[in-house]
């Protein structure tokens, strides 16, 4: 069931089953989610190995009946989600949160962050 959920989330984010995993976490350190819940900050290595401050604005993250979902426009999930965290390791990066369902109940949810990469010290989606 977890594999099916992860596949479904990845499919919804990228619009295809071939969503690329994020790789920024392999060449960046001190990775954090800013207090606004909308910006990833980090120290990322440039091609020459020099670390520089970098940031990435999360766009289109929404709470859809207690589940984090990727869509369009400005992120709105912060209005109905608490305990938001950015988790990462060498293989993945994801947002986790406790979001309210339509009937107000708390729901544990996660959203894989796909295709965010360090391009010469700049966090960008794609290559």
Sequence spans of domains, the chain: 2-125
pTM over 0.85: no
Provide the 10 A C-beta neighbour count for residue 94: 18
Q: Which CATH number describes the domain made up of 2-125?
A: 2.30.60.10
- Name the residue among 69, 65, 63 with its Cα closest to residue 15: 69
CA dihedral 88, 91, 96, 101 (to 10 degrees): 170
CB atoms within 10 A of CB 84: 18
One digit per residue, the tens of pLDDT, for the chain of length 127 reads 333 333 333 333 333 345 788 999 999 999 999 988 899 999 999 999 999 999 999 999 999 999 999 999 999 999 999 999 999 998 899 999 999 999 999 999 999 999 999 999 999 998 7
């Amino acid at each position: 069931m977890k594999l099916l959920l992860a596949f479904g989330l990845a499919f919804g984010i990228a619009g295809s089953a071939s969503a690329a995993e994020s790789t920024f976490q392999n060449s960046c350190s001190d990775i954090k989610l800013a207090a606004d819940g909308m910006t990833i900050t980090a120290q990322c290595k440039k091609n020459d190995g020099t670390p520089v401050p970098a940031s990435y604005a999360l766009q289109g993250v929404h709470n859809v009946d207690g589940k984090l979902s990727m869509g369009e426009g400005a992120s709105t999930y912060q209005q109905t989600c608490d305990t938001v965290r950015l988790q990462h390791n060498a293989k993945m990066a994801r947002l986790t949160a406790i979001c309210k369902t339509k009937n107000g109940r708390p729901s544990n949810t996660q959203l894989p962050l796909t295709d965010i990469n360090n391009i010469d010290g700049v966090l960008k989606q794609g290559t």
